[in-house]
Structure 1
Amino acid sequence: MDRDYAEPLDVPALARDALMSPGHFSRSFRTAFGETPYSYLMTRRIERAKALLRRGDLSVTEVCMAVGCTSLGSFSSRFTELVGESPSAYRARDHDPGAAIPACVAKIHTRPIRNGEARPTAGP
């Protein structure tokens, strides 16, 4: 899912690859990752969408389609839920100060957190 985030989610195929039933796969996935396969995939899509929107050369609709979403409304709703602002507002914001930060570090601080599930990190 991390690599093929733009592809449709096929839980039965993933379950077959893991030699599990779809139900057992979904339950095991949720236990391991703290969210359903669909939520996990959408989080990956929103992460990628944030990167594309920061570039500023694609419209929100183009970004929506590029990350594998087929409904602009659903994409915008999920983006707003995870990021806290609409894709248009996120795209319009100035993102230059973070451009020099390595992607691996930026990913830690820009990963969308669903409903504030993550605990605040303690400072050094």
Structure 2
Amino acid sequence: MPAHKAPDVQPPVPPSAPASADALQDPALLRRLLRAKDRMDAASHEAWPVERLARISGVSEAHFARSFKQAFGIPPHRYLLTRRIEQATTLLRDTALSITDIAFATGWESLGTFGRIFRDITGESPSAMRRVARANMPELDRIPACVLKAAQRPDLTIAVLEKRRRMAKDTFAPSTTEES
């Protein structure tokens, strides 16, 4: 009599595993996500709400946002911020444009917002970044532009507001003390 074999049971998917990991393997979806990413790269100064990007990709807004983050490691808004800050850094280093002109040329609607977010991401104000870049210009001229751009790419693995909160937490003493 043959031994009774238990049916093959698939192990449960851990809750931390992405629900649509197989969907990301779809080459058509990846091409559509790359198309949206390329559009953002080509015109990073424009407004790129998720609705517009989803339309380019031919998927729903929620599916686009989820798939983009899964494919590229960061949400679309942070990717766009990265590109804008990269472009602003290059313009600060390589042109004589005013900081105001650079802010508007890279897609910011407010000089104050540009300055605040630029400082949050890079750790320096735009004018300080320009001074440092110009002081180091002879050394930077020997580095290929693509390598320099990659080395100066901002790290946006956490949201700008979260980064600001963490920095504030480390620099300011609490306003109240807890006594027992």
Q: Which category of TM-score, normalised to the shorter sequence, fits these structures?
A: 0.7 to 0.9
Q: In structure 2, what is the Cα distance between the partners aligned to 1:34 and 1:52?
A: 26
Change in CA separation of 1:115 and 1:82 when aligned onto 2, cut-off 3 Å: farther
Q: Which range is displaced more, 102-111 or 42-51?
A: 102-111
Aligned to 1:24: 63
TM-score by length of 2: 0.60
Aligned to 2:107: 68
- Cα offset for 1:56? 4.5
Q: In structure 1, what is the Cα distance between the partners aligned to 2:79 and 2:136?
A: 25
Q: In structure 2, what is the Cα distance between the partners aligned to 1:30 and 1:77?
A: 25
Q: In structure 1, what is the Cα distance between the partners aligned to 2:156 and 2:76?
A: 14
- Cα offset for 1:11? 1.8
Q: In structure 2, what is the Cα distance between the partners aligned to 1:49 and 1:113?
A: 15
Structure possessing the higher relative contact order (Cα contacts under 8 Å, 6 or more residues apart): 1
- Cα offset for 1:115? 5.8
Q: In structure 2, what is the Cα distance between the partners aligned to 1:101 and 1:53?
A: 17
Q: In structure 1, what is the Cα distance between the partners aligned to 2:71 and 2:127?
A: 33
8 Å CA contact retained: 1:29, 1:36: yes
Q: In structure 1, what is the Cα distance between the partners aligned to 2:47 and 2:96?
A: 25
Aligned to 2:142: 100
Runs of at least 5 residues in structure 1 that lack an aligned partner in the other structure: 117-124
8 Å CA contact retained: 2:74, 2:157: no
Q: In structure 2, what is the Cα distance between the partners aligned to 1:57 and 1:95?
A: 16
Number of residue-to-residue matches in the alignment:
117
Runs of 4+ in structure 1 off by over 4 angstroms are none
What is the letter of the counterpart of residue 106 of structure 1? L
TM-score by length of 1: 0.85
- Cα offset for 1:48? 0.4
Task: Give percent identity, aligned residues only.
Answer: 46
What is the letter of the counterpart of residue 21 of structure 1? S
Q: In structure 1, what is the Cα distance between the partners aligned to 2:102 and 2:69?
A: 27
- Cα offset for 1:55? 2.1
8 Å CA contact retained: 1:82, 1:115: no
Bigger Rg, which one: 2
Runs of at least 5 residues in structure 2 that lack an aligned partner in the other structure: 1-39, 159-180
- Aligned-CA RMSD value: 1.8
